Amino acid sequence: MQRFKAEFFKALAHPLRIRILEVLAEGEKSVNEIQTHVGSEGSAVSQQLQILRAKNIVSGTKDGNKVIYTLKDPMIIELLAVARQIFNNHLVDTITILDRFKDDEEVPAAPKN
Amino acid sequence: MQRFKAEFFKALAHPLRIRILEVLAEGEKSVNEIQTHVGSEGSAVSQQLQILRAKNIVSGTKDGNKVIYTLKDPMIIELLAVARQIFNNHLVDTITILDRFKDDEEVPAAPKN
DNA sequence: GTAATCTATTATTATATATTCAAATAATCA
DNA sequence: TGATTATTTGAATATATAATAATAGATTAC
Protein backbone atom coordinates (compact mmCIF):
# COMPACT_ATOMS: atom_id res chain seq x y z
CA MET A 1 0.00 0.00 0.00
CA GLN A 2 2.56 2.60 1.11
CA ARG A 3 4.87 1.12 -1.44
CA PHE A 4 2.43 1.80 -4.28
CA LYS A 5 1.90 5.31 -3.00
CA ALA A 6 5.61 5.96 -2.76
CA GLU A 7 6.14 4.77 -6.33
CA PHE A 8 3.20 6.88 -7.45
CA PHE A 9 4.53 10.00 -5.76
CA LYS A 10 7.96 9.25 -7.14
CA ALA A 11 6.47 9.41 -10.61
CA LEU A 12 5.18 12.88 -9.75
CA ALA A 13 8.47 14.01 -8.23
CA HIS A 14 9.85 15.58 -11.37
CA PRO A 15 9.10 19.02 -12.86
CA LEU A 16 8.77 17.88 -16.47
CA ARG A 17 6.49 15.00 -15.59
CA ILE A 18 4.25 17.34 -13.60
CA ARG A 19 4.14 19.70 -16.52
CA ILE A 20 3.19 16.85 -18.85
CA LEU A 21 0.38 15.78 -16.56
CA GLU A 22 -0.91 19.32 -16.35
CA VAL A 23 -0.94 19.51 -20.14
CA LEU A 24 -2.81 16.19 -20.34
CA ALA A 25 -5.23 17.42 -17.68
CA GLU A 26 -6.57 19.74 -20.38
CA GLY A 27 -7.22 16.83 -22.72
CA GLU A 28 -5.52 14.10 -24.73
CA LYS A 29 -2.46 15.12 -26.74
CA SER A 30 0.07 13.73 -29.16
CA VAL A 31 3.72 13.62 -28.12
CA ASN A 32 4.45 16.46 -30.50
CA GLU A 33 1.78 18.62 -28.90
CA ILE A 34 3.07 17.81 -25.43
CA GLN A 35 6.54 18.75 -26.58
CA THR A 36 5.34 22.10 -27.85
CA HIS A 37 3.46 22.86 -24.65
CA VAL A 38 6.21 21.93 -22.25
CA GLY A 39 9.03 23.26 -24.40
CA SER A 40 11.33 20.26 -24.08
CA GLU A 41 12.97 18.16 -26.72
CA GLY A 42 11.67 14.85 -27.99
CA SER A 43 13.69 12.24 -26.22
CA ALA A 44 13.30 13.95 -22.85
CA VAL A 45 9.52 14.02 -23.23
CA SER A 46 9.45 10.46 -24.50
CA GLN A 47 11.43 9.25 -21.56
CA GLN A 48 9.24 10.94 -19.02
CA LEU A 49 6.17 9.53 -20.75
CA GLN A 50 7.72 6.11 -20.48
CA ILE A 51 7.98 6.50 -16.73
CA LEU A 52 4.39 7.73 -16.50
CA ARG A 53 3.25 4.76 -18.62
CA ALA A 54 5.18 2.34 -16.47
CA LYS A 55 3.44 3.66 -13.38
CA ASN A 56 0.04 3.43 -15.12
CA ILE A 57 -0.55 7.14 -14.80
CA VAL A 58 -0.92 7.78 -18.53
CA SER A 59 -1.62 5.61 -21.55
CA GLY A 60 -0.62 6.04 -25.15
CA THR A 61 -2.64 5.01 -28.22
CA LYS A 62 -1.04 4.72 -31.65
CA ASP A 63 -2.61 6.76 -34.43
CA GLY A 64 -0.53 6.29 -37.53
CA ASN A 65 2.93 7.48 -36.72
CA LYS A 66 1.51 9.55 -33.88
CA VAL A 67 0.82 8.47 -30.33
CA ILE A 68 -2.01 10.08 -28.39
CA TYR A 69 -1.59 10.23 -24.63
CA THR A 70 -4.30 10.49 -21.98
CA LEU A 71 -4.50 10.41 -18.21
CA LYS A 72 -5.55 6.98 -17.01
CA ASP A 73 -7.43 8.38 -14.04
CA PRO A 74 -9.01 11.87 -14.04
CA MET A 75 -8.43 12.00 -10.30
CA ILE A 76 -4.85 12.97 -11.09
CA ILE A 77 -6.35 16.35 -11.91
CA GLU A 78 -7.75 16.60 -8.42
CA LEU A 79 -4.49 15.53 -6.88
CA LEU A 80 -2.62 18.24 -8.77
CA ALA A 81 -5.24 20.75 -7.64
CA VAL A 82 -4.79 19.79 -3.99
CA ALA A 83 -1.02 20.04 -4.38
CA ARG A 84 -1.48 23.48 -5.92
CA GLN A 85 -3.61 24.49 -2.95
CA ILE A 86 -0.94 23.28 -0.53
CA PHE A 87 1.59 25.30 -2.48
CA ASN A 88 -0.60 28.36 -2.27
CA ASN A 89 -1.07 27.87 1.46
CA HIS A 90 2.68 27.57 1.79
CA LEU A 91 3.14 30.75 -0.22
CA VAL A 92 0.66 32.58 1.97
CA ASP A 93 2.51 31.38 5.07
CA THR A 94 5.81 32.54 3.64
CA ILE A 95 4.43 35.96 2.76
CA THR A 96 2.86 36.25 6.20
CA ILE A 97 6.19 35.53 7.84
CA LEU A 98 7.89 38.13 5.69
CA ASP A 99 5.23 40.66 6.65
CA ARG A 100 5.85 39.89 10.32
CA PHE A 101 9.54 40.25 9.87
CA LYS A 102 8.98 43.59 8.18
CA ASP A 103 6.75 44.80 11.02
CA ASP A 104 9.32 43.82 13.64
CA GLU A 105 11.91 45.72 11.72
CA GLU A 106 9.84 48.87 11.85
CA VAL A 107 9.45 48.62 15.62
CA PRO A 108 13.00 48.78 16.99
CA ALA A 109 11.95 48.45 20.64
CA ALA A 110 9.99 45.21 20.22
CA PRO A 111 9.42 43.13 23.41
CA LYS A 112 12.15 40.61 24.09
CA ASN A 113 9.76 37.65 24.31
CA MET B 1 6.17 26.26 -9.41
CA GLN B 2 6.70 22.81 -10.87
CA ARG B 3 9.96 22.74 -9.00
CA PHE B 4 8.24 23.21 -5.66
CA LYS B 5 5.68 20.57 -6.54
CA ALA B 6 8.37 18.12 -7.59
CA GLU B 7 10.23 18.67 -4.32
CA PHE B 8 6.97 18.26 -2.42
CA PHE B 9 6.12 15.00 -4.16
CA LYS B 10 9.67 13.82 -3.65
CA ALA B 11 9.13 14.21 0.07
CA LEU B 12 6.12 11.93 -0.25
CA ALA B 13 7.94 9.39 -2.41
CA HIS B 14 8.99 7.14 0.43
CA PRO B 15 6.97 4.48 2.27
CA LEU B 16 8.09 5.40 5.77
CA ARG B 17 7.44 9.09 5.23
CA ILE B 18 3.95 8.34 3.97
CA ARG B 19 3.32 6.18 7.00
CA ILE B 20 4.52 8.97 9.28
CA LEU B 21 2.19 11.46 7.62
CA GLU B 22 -0.73 9.07 7.95
CA VAL B 23 0.02 8.69 11.63
CA LEU B 24 0.18 12.48 12.03
CA ALA B 25 -3.07 12.83 10.10
CA GLU B 26 -4.74 11.32 13.16
CA GLY B 27 -3.26 14.00 15.38
CA GLU B 28 0.00 15.38 16.77
CA LYS B 29 2.45 12.83 18.11
CA SER B 30 5.81 12.58 19.81
CA VAL B 31 8.67 10.90 17.99
CA ASN B 32 8.38 7.95 20.31
CA GLU B 33 4.69 7.55 19.49
CA ILE B 34 5.39 7.80 15.76
CA GLN B 35 8.07 5.15 16.15
CA THR B 36 5.67 2.81 17.88
CA HIS B 37 3.02 3.29 15.24
CA VAL B 38 5.24 2.85 12.21
CA GLY B 39 7.39 0.14 13.77
CA SER B 40 10.73 1.58 12.75
CA GLU B 41 13.76 2.43 14.82
CA GLY B 42 14.61 5.84 16.12
CA SER B 43 17.22 7.16 13.80
CA ALA B 44 15.30 6.09 10.72
CA VAL B 45 12.19 7.93 11.92
CA SER B 46 14.23 10.95 12.94
CA GLN B 47 15.87 11.15 9.55
CA GLN B 48 12.59 10.99 7.70
CA LEU B 49 11.13 13.64 9.99
CA GLN B 50 14.09 15.83 9.15
CA ILE B 51 13.26 15.58 5.48
CA LEU B 52 9.60 16.35 6.15
CA ARG B 53 10.62 19.35 8.26
CA ALA B 54 12.98 20.60 5.60
CA LYS B 55 10.15 20.55 3.07
CA ASN B 56 7.84 22.33 5.52
CA ILE B 57 5.41 19.46 5.59
CA VAL B 58 5.63 18.87 9.32
CA SER B 59 6.80 20.90 12.28
CA GLY B 60 8.23 19.79 15.60
CA THR B 61 7.76 21.52 18.96
CA LYS B 62 9.99 20.76 21.93
CA ASP B 63 8.27 19.62 25.12
CA GLY B 64 10.93 18.78 27.67
CA ASN B 65 13.05 16.07 26.15
CA LYS B 66 10.18 15.17 23.82
CA VAL B 67 9.37 16.66 20.44
CA ILE B 68 5.74 16.83 19.29
CA TYR B 69 5.20 16.72 15.56
CA THR B 70 2.21 18.03 13.62
CA LEU B 71 1.23 18.42 9.99
CA LYS B 72 1.81 21.96 8.83
CA ASP B 73 -1.15 21.90 6.48
CA PRO B 74 -4.21 19.69 7.05
CA MET B 75 -4.67 19.52 3.29
CA ILE B 76 -2.00 16.85 3.29
CA ILE B 77 -4.75 14.63 4.65
CA GLU B 78 -6.85 15.34 1.59
CA LEU B 79 -3.93 14.71 -0.72
CA LEU B 80 -3.32 11.32 0.87
CA ALA B 81 -7.03 10.56 0.53
CA VAL B 82 -7.00 11.37 -3.20
CA ALA B 83 -3.91 9.22 -3.65
CA ARG B 84 -5.68 6.41 -1.83
CA GLN B 85 -8.63 6.80 -4.17
CA ILE B 86 -6.35 6.64 -7.20
CA PHE B 87 -4.82 3.50 -5.77
CA ASN B 88 -8.26 1.99 -5.26
CA ASN B 89 -9.26 2.88 -8.82
CA HIS B 90 -6.08 1.26 -10.00
CA LEU B 91 -6.80 -1.82 -7.94
CA VAL B 92 -10.30 -2.01 -9.39
CA ASP B 93 -8.86 -1.72 -12.89
CA THR B 94 -6.37 -4.48 -12.17
CA ILE B 95 -9.03 -6.77 -10.75
CA THR B 96 -11.28 -6.04 -13.72
CA ILE B 97 -8.51 -7.01 -16.10
CA LEU B 98 -7.88 -10.22 -14.18
CA ASP B 99 -11.58 -11.03 -14.31
CA ARG B 100 -11.58 -10.55 -18.07
CA PHE B 101 -8.56 -12.74 -18.39
CA LYS B 102 -10.28 -15.40 -16.32
CA ASP B 103 -13.42 -15.24 -18.44
CA ASP B 104 -11.43 -15.63 -21.61
CA GLU B 105 -9.77 -18.65 -20.14
CA GLU B 106 -13.11 -20.30 -19.41
CA VAL B 107 -14.33 -19.72 -22.95
CA PRO B 108 -11.83 -21.56 -25.13
CA ALA B 109 -13.49 -20.56 -28.40
CA ALA B 110 -13.41 -16.81 -27.73
CA PRO B 111 -13.61 -14.52 -30.78
CA LYS B 112 -10.27 -13.60 -32.25
CA ASN B 113 -10.89 -9.88 -31.96
C1' DG C 1 26.26 17.93 41.80
C1' DT C 2 27.26 14.02 38.95
C1' DA C 3 26.23 10.04 36.51
C1' DA C 4 22.77 7.44 34.33
C1' DT C 5 18.84 7.33 31.54
C1' DC C 6 15.67 8.93 28.19
C1' DT C 7 14.54 11.23 23.91
C1' DA C 8 15.91 12.78 19.61
C1' DT C 9 19.15 14.24 16.12
C1' DT C 10 23.15 14.21 13.24
C1' DA C 11 27.09 12.34 10.74
C1' DT C 12 29.12 8.99 7.85
C1' DT C 13 29.46 5.77 4.25
C1' DA C 14 28.28 2.10 1.10
C1' DT C 15 24.89 1.14 -2.13
C1' DA C 16 20.90 1.91 -4.95
C1' DT C 17 18.27 4.74 -7.91
C1' DA C 18 17.19 8.76 -10.77
C1' DT C 19 18.38 12.30 -14.11
C1' DT C 20 20.27 14.14 -18.28
C1' DC C 21 21.90 14.27 -22.84
C1' DA C 22 22.97 12.65 -27.25
C1' DA C 23 23.02 8.97 -30.38
C1' DA C 24 20.86 5.01 -32.26
C1' DT C 25 16.77 2.56 -33.48
C1' DA C 26 11.95 1.60 -34.92
C1' DA C 27 7.51 2.46 -37.09
C1' DT C 28 4.74 5.03 -40.27
C1' DC C 29 3.88 8.21 -44.00
C1' DA C 30 4.53 10.70 -48.44
C1' DT D 1 13.71 6.29 -50.09
C1' DG D 2 13.70 10.18 -47.26
C1' DA D 3 10.98 12.53 -43.83
C1' DT D 4 8.31 12.42 -39.73
C1' DT D 5 7.12 10.73 -35.24
C1' DA D 6 8.41 8.43 -31.27
C1' DT D 7 11.13 5.28 -28.48
C1' DT D 8 15.14 3.14 -26.67
C1' DT D 9 19.95 2.87 -25.37
C1' DG D 10 24.10 4.02 -23.02
C1' DA D 11 26.98 6.42 -20.01
C1' DA D 12 28.27 10.18 -16.97
C1' DT D 13 26.57 12.51 -13.14
C1' DA D 14 23.49 13.63 -9.39
C1' DT D 15 20.57 12.31 -5.70
C1' DA D 16 18.32 9.19 -2.43
C1' DT D 17 18.31 5.37 0.77
C1' DA D 18 19.65 2.57 4.65
C1' DA D 19 22.31 1.25 8.53
C1' DT D 20 25.25 2.29 12.22
C1' DA D 21 27.76 5.05 15.33
C1' DA D 22 28.29 9.37 17.49
C1' DT D 23 26.34 13.46 19.45
C1' DA D 24 23.11 16.60 21.91
C1' DG D 25 19.61 18.07 25.14
C1' DA D 26 16.51 17.12 28.94
C1' DT D 27 15.16 14.45 32.94
C1' DT D 28 15.85 11.38 36.76
C1' DA D 29 18.33 8.89 40.37
C1' DC D 30 21.69 8.72 43.79
pLDDT tens string B54-108 = 999 999 999 999 999 999 999 999 999 999 999 999 878 777 777 766 655 544 4
User: To the nearest whole number, what is the mean pLDDT of chain B?
Assistant: 87
> Do B8 and A86 contact (CB within 8 A), yes or no?
yes
Domain CATH number, residue B69: 1.10.10.10
Bridge partners of A66, per DSSP, are A63
Phi, then psi, of A108 in degrees rounded to 5: -60, -35
Report the pLDDT value the prediction gives residue B108, as an integer from 0 to 100: 44
The minimum CA-CA distance between B91 and chain A, rounded to whole Å, is: 11
Is B19's Cβ below 8 Å from some Cβ in A? yes
Report the pLDDT value the prediction gives residue A112, as an integer from 0 to 100: 42
pLDDT tens string B1-20 = 788 899 999 999 999 999 99
Question: How many independent structural domains does chain B possess?
Answer: 2
Residue contact A86–B8, C-beta within 8 A: yes
Domain match, B16 and B39 both: yes
User: A79-82: which pairs have CB atoms within 8 A and are 24 or more residues apart?
Assistant: A79/A12, A79/B79, A79/B82, A79/B83, A79/B86, A80/A18, A80/A21, A80/A22, A80/A25, A80/B5, A82/B75, A82/B78, A82/B79, A82/B82
Question: Which strand C bases fall within 7 angstroms of a protein CB?
Answer: 6-11, 18-24, 27-29
Report the pLDDT value the prediction gives residue A13, as an integer from 0 to 100: 95
Report the pLDDT value the prediction gives residue B102, as an integer from 0 to 100: 64
B chain contacts of residue A9, beta-carbon cutoff 8 Å: 9-10, 12-13, 18, 83
Report the pLDDT value the prediction gives residue A95, as an integer from 0 to 100: 75
Which range marks the domain in which residue A100 is found? 74-113
Report the pLDDT value the prediction gives residue B101, as an integer from 0 to 100: 63
Residue B53 has pLDDT above 60, yes or no: yes
Domain match, A68 and A81 both: no
Domain match, B78 and B68 both: no
Which positions of chain A have pLDDT values less than 70?
A: 100-113
- A–B interface: beta-carbon pairs under 8 A: 99
Is A92's Cβ below 8 Å from some Cβ in B? no
Residue contact A6–B19, C-beta within 8 A: no
Domain match, A66 and A85 both: no
Domain match, B57 and B84 both: no
Give, to the nearest 10 degrees, the angle between helix B2-12 and helix A15-25.
110
Report the pLDDT value the prediction gives residue B112, as an integer from 0 to 100: 41
Domain match, B35 and B65 both: yes
Domain match, B44 and B79 both: no
Domain match, A67 and A84 both: no
Stated as kind and residue range, the H or E segment containing A92 is: helix A75-106
Q: How far is the CA of B47 from the C1' of D19 (A)?
A: 12
